[in-house]
Amino acid sequence: MSMTIALAGNPNCGKTTLFNELTGSKQHVGNWPGVTVDKKDGVYKKNKEVVILDLPGTYSLSPYSAEEIVARDYIVKDKPDAVIDIVDGTSIERNLYLSLQIMETRIPMVIALNMMDEVEARGDKIDCKKLSEELGVPVVPIVARSGKGLAELMEAAIETARNHQKSERVQLFDDELENVIAGIADLLRGSDPDESWWKAIKLVENDEVVAKTIDSAKMDSIRKLVESANKNAGGDAEAKIADYRYQYIGKIVKECVRKAHRGHVETKSDKMDKVLTNRILALPIFAAVMYVMFACTFSENFLFIEGLPSPGVWLAGIVESVWGLLTDAVVGAVEGVGASEWAVGLVSSCLDGVGAVAGFLPLVLVLFLLLSFLEDSGYMARVAFVMDRIFRHFGLSGRSFIPMLMGFGCSVPALMASRTLESDKDRKITMMITPFMSCGAKLPIYAMFAATLFAEGNHTVIVFSVYMLGIVVAIIGALLLNKFAFKSDTSNFIMELPQYRVPTLKSVLIHAWEKVKGFAIKAGTVIFASTVLIWFLSSFNFSGMCDMEESLLATIGNGIKWIFAPLGWADWRASVGVVTGWIAKENIVATFGQLFGGVSDEVVEAVMAGEEGLPAIGEVFNKVSAYSYMAFNLLCMPCFAAVGAIRREMGSWKWTLRAVGFQMLTAYVVALLINVVGNMIF
């Protein structure tokens, strides 16, 4: 008989790692809060009848943000067969608060005491058997990263679910408060007494979400009982309930946990944070880390050794060589069977277009491997903390920087991550500026221009500067939006800083592969389809097959090029590239690969040789206009998939169009300034 087991727990407690180990899935695992923004399900790999569901992290069942509501609603409304509550053993006092709240729902539950390797490394000891007896639920010690204890955990969870083994109701509150809760539960008189009891507690805690579900006729009597509870609790029954829970947690922790050191002991993470989150050093260190990351991806002289390309450039050369051989073989085979001229042209053009994107795949892979390492190590959580000092002045909290950092990978999950923000204002502003981050699809655009129009030694600087431009414009954009479009107060910023951890190779590879896989799939589907369309439009007009300059595509491009002329690129091919980039940003490189005659071969050769200039592109762009083009495509409307994500998260087309309009206006103004000022200086 099939069953559903939900994974719940605080942010960054190891839920997604556990989910991946149990199901064999490859969900994004990051060493910072807010990685899971929606519930995800998979099948337990040792029992196909068991469905495992990964819920967003939440600190309590009194939710404040959208993803916390997702977690609570599933537990209390959908009622899984069992809940595995993942508790971080290194922060057991804080984590058990959620455990008590889940126990109040009377859903069958098992506690997975995670990170026991770190607990043992500290010299601490947790008596799991006694903890289980105190709480009345099974407690299983595990190490999710290594898979230790997972078989025992699932055995306990399946047995608990099969037997509908509910925890004993623990009396945490005094008699007066218990009587009020019982009175409210009696008024509710639901078909499920456990649900009525849980709702009664929430109503005493002034939970507005639950209050909206109660019949107005009953609410008058309930309010009187809540008022009496507040009066008996000195004016705040909600705080009193929280205090009772923490008192109980303190009691059982004292009995079940033996710490090697009393009081605070400075950890390695604490020592590292003295430097990495230092008020003066934090931002320069972050800039330096990002620059080194780009140098490892784009530098022609890796580690300052002349003629030694970075891993990214070296791998790009190999891929390009292999693709070139494949292209020659396929085109030769097509010609060999006597195919017509248009068929040969179609095959050659499509291979050039897809190859223009595939040639940059190694650069994307290396960049995401390094970025995944930084995320999983816990460093990126510190960056969000540091950025709060800056964002605070612009009406946002540092938590908004988490979706923005995720935007370096892909805008779609980054936009979904805005659900972690409690304030509606913060969510809207963050969604409007997150596309300013350089997603992986934009990277080939920068690499193409850096390699073709900028001298040896400047490639890393150019790409790094574009990434930094996105962050700076996002901050300025947030300031303008906060000042003129939104005028509510700045949200509070509360964020857990996880311990620094050496990421597992498996985690880093999974994270990087997910990003590269999406890039590769688009190259084989969306980009391929686009290259076919571009070839057709660039090879035909209403009279039939023709030269490119007389084609339908040229007609379209010439019709809109006046719009972009002030930005420094009044060429129809450049204008067409902008439009095709809205389908997928990689499309710009594929489009140039076709319209400029197989640009990818020359690009990678230029990267490898450190040469400056590429005649075909050089006819249209100079250094200033190329930078303007990069800036415009960095900041303008994102791909259609990202626009769809904005629509889903914003909840209306009105706000979606406002966001797109803001992005297009910002892109145009910034690109115009770059072109005007750049030509004055250079």
Model confidence pLDDT, tens digit, residues 15-48? 888 988 898 876 555 544 555 556 778 889 888 8
In the numeric block, the tokens 């629509």 are attached to 647
% helix / strand / coil in the chain, to the nearest 5?
A: 65, 5, 30
Residue 621, pLDDT > 50, answer: yes
Q: How many helices (H) and strands (E) does the chain have?
A: 32, 10
Domains 3-162 and 175-258 share a fold: no
Q: Which amino acid is at 377?
A: S
Q: Which amino acid is at 433?
A: I
- Tell which wins on pLDDT, 120 or 300: 120
What pLDDT was estimated at residue 35? 54
Tens of pLDDT along 363-397? 778 877 887 788 778 887 788 788 777 777 777 77
What pLDDT was estimated at residue 314? 80
Q: Which amino acid is at 29?
A: V
What pLDDT was estimated at residue 603? 47
- Residue 376 · residue 470 · CB < 8 Å: no
Q: What is the mean pLDDT of residues 415-429?
A: 78
- Tell which wins on pLDDT, 461 or 421: 461
Residue 140: phi, psi to the nearest 5?
A: -120, 120
Q: What is the mean pLDDT of residues 498-510?
A: 78
Closest CA to 666 of 411, 475, 464: 475
Tens of pLDDT along 391-413? 777 777 777 777 887 788 778 77
The answer to whether the predicted template modeling score (pTM) of the entire model surpasses 0.75 is no
| pLDDT band, very low/low/confident/very high, at 127 (cuts 50, 70, 90) | very high
Residue 582, pLDDT > 70, answer: yes
Residue 310 CA to residue 459 CA, distance in Å, equals 12
Q: What is the mean pLDDT of residues 311-316?
A: 77
Tens of pLDDT along 196-214? 888 888 888 888 888 888 8
Q: What is the mean pLDDT of residues 234-249?
A: 87
Average pLDDT, the chain: 82
Identify the top-confidence range among 117-126, 252-261, 556-565.
Answer: 556-565
- Residue 162 · residue 3 · CB < 8 Å: yes
Q: Identify each DSSP E strand in 522-656 by its residue range.
A: 540-541, 544-545
| pLDDT band, very low/low/confident/very high, at 160 (cuts 50, 70, 90) | very high
Residue 604, pLDDT > 50, answer: no
Residue 148: alpha-carbon gap to chain centroid: 28
Residue 233 CA to residue 241 CA, distance in Å, equals 9
- Tell which wins on pLDDT, 19 or 584: 19
Tens of pLDDT along 517-531? 766 776 667 777 877
Tokens found for residue 350: 């499509």
Residue 635 CA to residue 437 CA, distance in Å, equals 8
50 by DSSP, 3-state: which? strand
- Tell which wins on pLDDT, 238 or 601: 238
Domain ranges of the chain: 3-162, 175-258, 287-332+342-491+506-681
Residue 75: phi, psi to the nearest 5?
A: -65, -45
66 by DSSP, 3-state: which? helix
Alpha carbon separation from 632 to 62, 594, 637, 649 (Å, rounded): 43, 21, 9, 24
> What is the radius of gyration, based on Cα positions, of the chain?
29
Tokens found for residue 135: 């709480």
| pLDDT band, very low/low/confident/very high, at 82 (cuts 50, 70, 90) | very high
Instruction: Report the DSSP beta bridge partners of residue 125.
Output: 258
- Residue 527 · residue 441 · CB < 8 Å: no
Residue 506: alpha-carbon gap to chain centroid: 19
306 by DSSP, 3-state: which? coil
Percent of the chain with pLDDT over 90: 20
Residue 238 CA to residue 201 CA, distance in Å, equals 9
CA angle 484, 490, 496 (to 5 degrees): 140
Residue 550 CA to residue 543 CA, distance in Å, equals 10
Residue 76 CA to residue 122 CA, distance in Å, equals 36
- Residue 32 · residue 51 · CB < 8 Å: no
Q: What is the mean pLDDT of residues 246-250?
A: 91
Q: How many residues does the chain have?
A: 682
Residue 20 Ramachandran class (φ > 0 left, ψ -120 to 50 alpha, else beta):
alpha
What pLDDT was estimated at residue 544? 81
Residue 160 CA to residue 158 CA, distance in Å, equals 5
What topology is assigned to 175-258 in CATH?
Answer: Helix Hairpins (1.10.287)
In the numeric block, the tokens 């500067």 are attached to 465
**Low-confidence winner among 139-153, 319-333, 342-356, 583-597 (lowest mean pLDDT):** 342-356
Which residues, 6 or more positions from 17, have their beta carbon under 8 angstroms from its beta carbon? 29, 144, 145, 507
Tokens found for residue 620: 């249209």
Residue 167 CA to residue 108 CA, distance in Å, equals 7
- Residue 131 · residue 105 · CB < 8 Å: no
CATH superfamily of 3-162: P-loop containing nucleotide triphosphate hydrolases (3.40.50.300)
Residue 156, pLDDT > 80, answer: yes
Residue 609, pLDDT > 90, answer: no
